[in-house]
Amino acid sequence: MKKLFSIIVFLLLLIPVQADAQMKMAYFNSEAIMKDLPDAIDAQEQLNKLVADWQQELNKMQEEWKKKFDEYDKRKLIMTDQRRADTEHELQEMDKKIADYRNKNFGQNGELFKRQNELMKPVQDRIFKAVQEVAKEEGYDYVLDKSGDILLMYANEKYDLTQKIFNKLKVPVSSGK
């Protein structure tokens, strides 16, 4: 949605507007729609479960590391140099394994990012299609999403398409804008 907004703003800056031309603009709140749209809720629940499972595994790995470190810390003075070096190497390997696991699942291009795109893309496409349909039916030239990075200092409520988009998606609205 942010890319769409950026494109619209770019086009607005490039298109010369005649003084007598009437542009029809409106806005909607995708955050409110995502909050109440059943497939968005399902996708978010799947992501939450996945994150909880990964976090549980990560916590287990960290607890194992801490236990090993505490044991090492208590005994390091009585260990042989070789045993101490071996244990330190084991701790470093465990630490690397934890970092790799965290990066693989939660990193910038990790599994969470991939799964989020996989689960949310169909929802976003559905919303985008509904926005396009409502905009065409209502004769709007531009439609903005007011959730996210857009700063609206003023918006006339009569141009809010959120409810119409809910209606197009056949979802009852339960919260405000």
Q: pLDDT class for 20, splitting at 50, 70, 90?
A: very low
Q: pLDDT class for 101, splitting at 50, 70, 90?
A: very high
The structural domains of the chain, ordered by start, are 2-40+120-169 (3.30.910), 55-113 (no CATH)
**pLDDT greater than 50 at residue 142:** yes
**pLDDT greater than 70 at residue 21:** no
Q: State how far the Cα of 13 lies from the Cα of 152, in Å rounded to an integer.
A: 17
Q: State how far the Cα of 98 lies from the Cα of 102, in Å rounded to an integer.
A: 6
Contact status, residue 10 vs residue 150, Cβ threshold 8 Å: no
Q: What is the pLDDT of residue 5?
A: 55
**pLDDT greater than 90 at residue 95:** yes
Chain position carrying tokens 């992501």: 47
**pLDDT greater than 90 at residue 78:** yes
Q: Residue 82, CB half-sphere, CA atoms under 13 Å: how many? A: 0
Q: pLDDT class for 4, splitting at 50, 70, 90?
A: low
